[in-house]
Amino acid sequence: MTISLPKTPSFRLDGRRALVTGAGRGIGLAAAAALGEAGADVCLIARTSSEIEDAAEAIRAAGGAADTLVLDVLETAAMRAAILERGPFDILINNAGTNRPKTMAETTEDDFDTVLDLNLRAAFFVAQAVTDGLLGAEKPGTIINISSQMGHVGGPLRTVYCSSKWALEGLTKSLAMELAPNGIRVNSIAPTFIETPLAKVMLKDPEFRDAVLSKIKLGRTGQVEDLMGAIVFLASDAAAMITGASLLVDGGWTIG
């Protein structure tokens, strides 16, 4: 008897358009590279032209398709107009973010507003713009919010950062419920400490690095490459039944 085997859904993203915020370096750059390698046409967003122009050129040199959009995601009206003009985008990687590690006593109103504005407010309104483009075109899509393990646990000197990432996890679940009838999936990726340019500065402190490694069960910090497969997976048809989830790429930090 001939058995008809099920076929693995494709991880390829050919024919899809992807938007990546904070794409000039670190996780954003890795996300753009991964999506480009998987066949997506990637638009890289950042405030600095030179970084994303170089990144887009590298993606094109590797055989992918990429262009750039220089804007500040905190300037909501300009951001929204630009995204709607360039869109619709099938995939959004909501990556732009920041941190100001301080004790609660040291934290100023400017610290609070800066972290919450970029990590949460901008993420919400970028997602809104991309979603409006998809709804207007009556297309399905996927939104991936780059969260953090700190959206699932607490951490010293990270009261405001944790607040922003816990809120982003709530946003992810609520949007997933709202947009599911329209075929738009919304998930988050929650990394541990990834050796980006920003994190490398903190990890130079031996005491801090030892404290971090004591929490990561796999015994090492993450590299941006550790996130690239997760990004492509959640963006692809292989994750077609996944929405409202947080994919923890934390080396076991949050398991206890």
Q: Active-site positions?
A: 161
Comparing CA positions, the residue from 216, 138, 124 lying closest to residue 170 is 124
Name beta bridge partners: 66.
42
Q: Which helix (H) or strand (E) holds 213?
A: helix 206-215
Q: How far is CA 144 from CA 57, 130, 141, 184, in A?
A: 24, 12, 10, 11
Comparing CA positions, the residue from 245, 21, 26, 28 lying closest to residue 152 is 245
How far, in Å, CA of 96 to CA of 26, rounded?
A: 10
Q: Is residue 40 classed as helix, strand or coil in its secondary structure?
A: coil
How far, in Å, CA of 58 to CA of 214, rounded?
A: 36
